[in-house]
Amino acid sequence: MSLDTKHPLYGKRLADWELMEDSYHGERVVKEKHVKYLPATPGQILDGMSANQDGYRNYQAYKMRARFPDFVSQAVEALLGIMHHKPATIELPEKMEPLREEATIRGESLQMLIRRVNEHQLVTGRLGLLADIPDGAPVGVLPYIAMYKALDVINWDEEARDEQSRKQLNFVVLNESKWVREEFKWSFKNKYRVLLLGELENATGDVYQMGLFEGDKDATFNESVLITPSVAGRTLEKLPFVIINSTDIVAEPDDPPLLGLANLSMVVYRAEADYRQNLFMQGQDTLVVIGGTDSDEVRAGAGAVLNVAQGGDAKYIGVGSTGLKEMRESLVNDRKEAAASGGKLLDTQNREAESGEALKIRVSARTASLNQIAMAGAEGVQTILRTIAIWVGADPEKVVVTPNLDFADDTLDGRTLVEYMTAKQLGLPWSKESIHRKLQEKDLTEMEFEEEMAAIEAEGDGDGDDGPGLSEDDDTTGDQD
């Protein structure tokens, strides 16, 4: 039984995942795929596309002149910045507190793990998280969390075993193949991890089992390799694995949220190649001599002499510029469309007159999909942490992961503070305690109201200046008529 077998839905989504990964990693990776993303022209194909043939050499120059736009990578970085300008809130039982700062085998914190989860959600719309513990780990060592890209989760099953059971993952195959160093040499090793709940055929058991399978060319399943991982003697009755999509944590894949932007990137890439090819050809006119010359060697340019037979003629012919304007305008329009759908979602810095509430409404309307991504990512991390809690004997209900959903950068600036105090002096029924609460909401103070007022009074004793709107005589509260 070959472990390289793919789930049917994996094959349907593979092209989209590869497109998103390549678009995200940029021009070098895209150009390495050659004709997959930039087809050769008919003339290049006729001239031959094998190495050292004219068609191949012309194609390489054609591809080199083209520019691939970084729409996807710019959008992902911009959206991650929006999602993580405030950290997620993470609650853990005391026994699991070490995971807060060191949750993965790389030593990453949970905050960094959530950011990486969101990154994969934005790029491919899918990833997997596995809770694992090294075989023979000392007592007290906590499981760590390993992340798997969409391309590495190759097979799965979540069908219910009978009519009384609910759906849950009972079978997962993860591709861990990689380059391995042996002294000074590197070789590629096929490696697969199988996660199984019960037996492979009938799934009659309820205990989590895991097996690692390796092979130079292929790897096959062998039930005798399976082990039952445990922590302090505790086994699991579920797979310590969760699949996270862009909007949910079920096994069925979602569409990548930026797939349209990646497709548009490829449209611009191919149009760029044609446009720059035409620009190149504009400067490559061909000399045509009518009637022959007195010499077998023909030279052109400054200082050259061309002797043409009587009655003959010489002229340059080249590619016409017809259509260049339309090609240029088409590229400009495509780039504008990409900017509108990608990293330009929130132009908050250029809206000086926009109120905080209006900003929040506009942001909520334009980032509904970001809410779903953030919530699904947090739910997935919370699910794997609760599985670890069960495994180590902690209370899973004490694990709570709350994502940041405040995507508006509505920082309270000095001008707004002056406007608040001016409005209060003009009769706005707003107490100092309410103003202080607003300052706390914007993280401008950590003191309670009474502490703040005591500090202000102490400062007033030193310089006799309470500042505008802070005197007890002109306090305005919501109880006024």
The rounded distance, in Å, linking the Cα atoms of 82 and 406 is 9
> How confident is the model over 430-450, as a mean pLDDT?
83
Least reliable range by pLDDT among 173-187, 193-207, 245-259, 265-279: 193-207
Average pLDDT score over residue span 90-108: 94
Query: What pLDDT score does 347 carry?
Result: 43
Q: Which range is least confidently modeled, 90-99, 194-203, 305-314?
A: 305-314
**How far is residue 317's CA from residue 390's CA, in Å, rounded to a whole number?**
78
- What does the pLDDT read at residue 221? 85
Lowest mean pLDDT among 137-146, 353-362, 412-421, 422-431: 353-362
- pLDDT value for 379: 96
Lowest mean pLDDT among 76-90, 143-157, 276-290, 378-392: 276-290
Higher local confidence (pLDDT), 302 or 462: 302
How many CA atoms are closer than 13 Å to the CA of 29, on its beta-carbon side? 13
Query: What is the radius of gyration, based on Cα positions, of the chain?
Result: 32
Residue 104 is classified by DSSP as B
**pLDDT of residue 323 exceeding 70:** no
Residue type, 224: S
Domain ranges of the chain: 285-318, 414-474
Computed over every residue of the chain, the mean pLDDT equals 81
**pLDDT, position 210:** 93
Whether residue 188 contacts residue 38, with contact meaning beta carbons closer than 8 Å, is answered with: no
SS3 299: coil
What confidence tens digit (pLDDT) does each residue in 328-345 have?
A: 677 777 677 666 665 444
Instruction: Give the tens place of pLDDT for each residue, 399-427.
Output: 999 999 887 655 666 777 788 788 888 88
Per-residue pLDDT at 69 exceeds 80: yes
For the cut 70, the answer to whether the pLDDT of residue 478 exceeds it is no
Please write the tens of the pLDDT for every residue from 126-137: 999 999 988 777
> What pLDDT, on the 0 to 100 scale, is given for residue 479?
46
